[in-house]
Structure 1
Amino acid sequence: MTELHRDLPKRAWLRIYRVTGAITLISVALSVVFTNMIMEIFSAGINVQGLAVSILMPLVLGGPMIFVLMLRQEQLRHANGQLEHLATTDWLTACLNRGAFTGAVTRYLDRHPSTGGALLIVDADDFKGVNDRFGHDAGDAALRLIAGAIRQAVRSSDPVGRLGGEEFGVFLADSDVAAADHVAERIRRAVSAIDFAPDGMPCPLSVSIGGATYETRAPFGELYRLADRHLYEAKNTGRDRVAIMQAA
């Protein structure tokens, strides 16, 4: 039971206890009613012994059975949730993986075609140099720090995904060019402020960011193409830059 308590979250146990208690109480009430109806037919009504049996039987037999069934149901629900999390989350950075990020943005674009928004592509600058100088373990640590800085710089509702390698995607709902540029600059500054010193050797980190905003419906592929083009523009003008433009 101790291991089960570690596996299931608190809200799951509350749901188990609440449903088990409610169904058990209903069972007791029905048992008393039906026992009384039967006793009315064959005798003068339910007596003390009959009342005790009608109450104890659901408690002793029904309660544990209901608890076990609810426990198994919550364990299955929890396991399915963990599998879904694993299927949609990048193992290294805990961001959405590419497929989950693309799917989340595409669904939003389909459901809210005219609310406007922005897609940002964030790419770590000279990341090959980090791996070459300090090794891939240090590179992985740098990616985790960059991902954390990105998440801290955006709203909790803004999807953040690792698109591959050292490239991340951020989707900003209800954002125009000015708002997207402000968020992108906040991300850029947050990454620049990271204190990264593998083996005690300072290694500054920076990102270049390309973005595309829209006012009316735009497919994900078009937004990605424009944001990627502006990312290369930011790279080619010195890196550690932001380049954003509204989609036509």
Structure 2
Amino acid sequence: MRFHKSESAFFVFIVVILAAGALILYAYGLLRSDVADLYQPGRMQDFALLNRLLFATGVLIATALFFGIFFIYPLIRTQVKEEGKLRAMTKTLSARSETLEQAALTDALTGMQNRRYFDEALTEYLEEFSKIDKPVGLMVFDLDHFKQVNDTHGHDVGDEVLRAVAGCLKDMTRYHDVVARLGGEEFAVVAPNMDVESLSRLAERIRSGIANMPILSGNVRLRITASVGLAVWDRKESAEEFFRRADQQLYQAKKQGRNRVSA
């Protein structure tokens, strides 16, 4: 196992301190002798040894302090700075990851949730509402003759129309509804705890709001309409089947003349 530099330095520091401690204990053993014995001619050499031990102990302690101040402490400071940089980098990467995840679930043009988010949310709503025996409604919107807007006024105006419709949907739905742009000129709303009657009323209000929404292109006022298909979950079908049924109702609204709600 390889040790970090600061760990190796710490072990050296401990060895030096232990060596100094051992010398101090040895010197203490010499001093425990009888004072009278110390003055015997043969014991005078112990004084010289004690002197050398105390000097060596001082050198070891001074070495340990020097080593700790000028080697161990800079290593610790360097490691702390590196850990701080690592934490900051981790925080930045985490924030960037969250931003990328949010971008992956958001429609760049309108700021709404996108198809991926919608599919995941619809599946989750059906799973949760199946446990509490409450209805889940679904509305699918498609802007009528939107291709003509792009062809006549350009894609910039078409983008403005999509953003305006997105704003209308957000303003007219509840905070817990899932409002998403599925792609192109198609939008969808998951409206939990709504039966067919209440869902139809909400869809009609939104359809009317889109039709009466002022959209100006230069001196030209555009009139945008939408067809809407509705479905309420029958508690048996999958999320894909549920969406397909609402999409079939959208097709019926288009077939019946557009700018209407079909349930």
Structure with greater Cα Rg: 2
Q: Equivalent of 2:173, from 154, 179, 191?
A: 154
Q: What is the aligned partner in structure 2 of residue 141 from structure 1?
A: 160
Measure, in 2, the Cα distance between the counterparts of 1:84 and 1:73.
Answer: 16
Aligned letter for 1:110?
Answer: E
Alpha-carbon distance, 1:107 to partner: 2.0
Measure, in 2, the Cα distance between the counterparts of 1:209 and 1:102.
Answer: 19
Query: Which whole-Å deviations, capped at 9, do the CAs of 1:126-165 have from their partners, x for residues lacking one?
Result: 1111112101111111111111111111112211121221
Q: Does 1:175 align with 2:194?
A: yes
Measure, in 2, the Cα distance between the counterparts of 1:182 and 1:172.
Answer: 12
Q: Equivalent of 2:95, from 72, 75, 78?
A: 78
Q: Equivalent of 1:128, from 136, 147, 157?
A: 147
Alpha-carbon distance, 1:195 to partner: 1.0
Q: What is the aligned partner in structure 1 of residue 251 from structure 2?
A: 232
In structure 2, stretches of 5+ residues that fail to align are 1-20, 22-76
Aligned letter for 2:125?
Answer: Y
Task: Spell out structure 1 runs of 4+ moving beyond 4 A.
Answer: 60-70
Find the residue that maps to 1:123 and give its secondary structure.
strand
Q: What is the aligned partner in structure 2 of residue 101 from structure 1?
A: 118
Find the residue that maps to 1:120 and give its secondary structure.
strand
Measure, in 2, the Cα distance between the counterparts of 1:170 and 1:236.
Answer: 21
- After superposition, residues 53-64 of structure 1 pair within 5 angstroms as none
Alpha-carbon distance, 1:73 to partner: 3.4
Q: Does 1:206 align with 2:236?
A: no
Query: Which whole-Å deviations, capped at 9, do the CAs of 1:210-247 have from their partners, x for residues lacking one?
Result: 01002524311221121111112212222211112xxx
Q: What percent of counterpart residues are identical?
A: 35
- Length-normalised TM-score, structure 1: 0.69
Alpha-carbon distance, 1:74 to partner: 2.7
Q: What is the aligned partner in structure 1 of residue 45 from structure 2?
A: none
Contact kept in structure 2, 1:115 and 1:216, CA below 8 Å = no
Change (3 A) 1:63 1:188: farther
Measure, in 2, the Cα distance between the counterparts of 1:62 and 1:226.
Answer: 61
RMSD: 2.9
Alpha-carbon distance, 1:66 to partner: 7.1
- Length-normalised TM-score, structure 2: 0.65
Contact kept in structure 2, 1:109 and 1:217, CA below 8 Å = no
Equivalent residues, number: 197
Alpha-carbon distance, 1:92 to partner: 1.2
Contact kept in structure 1, 2:141 and 2:187, CA below 8 Å = yes
Alpha-carbon distance, 1:77 to partner: 2.1
Measure, in 2, the Cα distance between the counterparts of 1:205 and 1:84.
Answer: 33
Find the residue that maps to 2:237 and give its secondary structure.
coil
1 or 2 for the larger relative contact order (CA 8 Å, sep ≥6)? 1
Contact kept in structure 2, 1:115 and 1:215, CA below 8 Å = no
Measure, in 1, the Cα distance between the counterparts of 2:152 and 2:91.
Answer: 48
Alpha-carbon distance, 1:116 to partner: 1.4
Aligned letter for 2:109?
Answer: L
Measure, in 1, the Cα distance between the counterparts of 2:114 and 2:171.
Answer: 18
Measure, in 2, the Cα distance between the counterparts of 1:175 and 1:66.
Answer: 53
Which segment drifts farther, 125-134 or 71-80? 71-80
Query: Which whole-Å deviations, capped at 9, do the CAs of 1:88-123 have from their partners, x for residues lacking one?
Result: 111111222212211111122123323211111001
